Amino acid sequence: MKDKTSGSASRLKQVAEELHRLADNLGAGSVKIGGVELSISESVTLKVKQKMTGKKVIFDLKIQALLAEDEILPVSGSPKKTKTRTKNKRPYGVKAEKKKYTALWRQISSAIKKGECPDALAVADLEEVSKEYGAVAPPEWAGLWLACEALIGRCVGLAQAGDFTAAQQVLIEIGLAKKSCHNLYK
C-alpha cells in the first residue's frame, strides 16, 4: 500500500482500518481481488520488513496464500503469473485507447483524492473508452476488468454524491485490484 500523502491522523486511521479489514478477511479465509471474493487455504506466509531512511519509516508486508482447493477461479487459467502479451495480439489502436483511458482515470481519481467531484465530461469519456477497450480484453483477464470497472463506477458514484471518504476507500480497492491483475497478467 503506497501512500505519498502527509502523515495526517485521519489517513493514518484509514491505513490502520484497511490493515484490520485485511487481517479479518485473512482470518476468515478469504480475500477480495479485483472485486472478486476468493477462498484461501491455511497455507499462508508473511514477510515483514521495516526500515528507516531519514525521517521516514517504511513497512513492507508480503503475504502469500494459496487458493482453497475447492475455489473456482472467476477467469480461465491459472492463478500463477503468466505472460499473455504477444505482438499483434490485439487490434491496432488499442494501445492509444489504453493511454487515453489511463489519462482520463488519472484526471478523475486525482479530483476524488482532492475531495472534488470529477468532471462529468471526463467521466462520460472514460465510460466510452472503457467499453471500447474492454471489448478487446483478452478472456484471461476480462472478468477482472469488469470487476474493476464496477469498482470505478461505484467510486465515481460516491464522489458525485459527495461521499469523498467512501470514494477514497474505493480508490484504495481499485489500486489493489489493478496491482493484483497486473501481477497476474502483465
Domain check: are 102 and 172 in the same one? yes
Q: Structural domain of residue 55, as residue ranges? A: 9-67
Hey, what amino acid is at 3? Answer: D
Q: What is the dihedral of CA 46, 185, 143, 20, to 10 degrees?
A: 20
What's 91's DSSP letter? P
Number of structural domains the chain divides into: 2
3-class DSSP state for residue 32? strand
Q: Does some domain include residue 4? A: no
User: Which tens digit of pLDDT belongs to each residue from 46-70?
Assistant: 888 888 888 888 888 888 877 777 6
The pLDDT profile of the chain, 186 residues, written as one tens digit per residue, is 444 445 567 888 888 888 888 888 888 888 877 667 778 877 778 888 888 888 888 888 888 877 777 665 554 444 444 444 444 455 566 788 888 889 999 999 999 999 999 999 999 999 998 888 888 777 788 888 888 889 999 999 999 999 999 999 999 999 888 888 888 877
Domain check: are 46 and 102 in the same one? no
Q: Does some domain include residue 86? A: no
Grid cell at residue 117: 467531484
Domain check: are 56 and 127 in the same one? no
Q: What is the pLDDT of residue 116?
A: 93
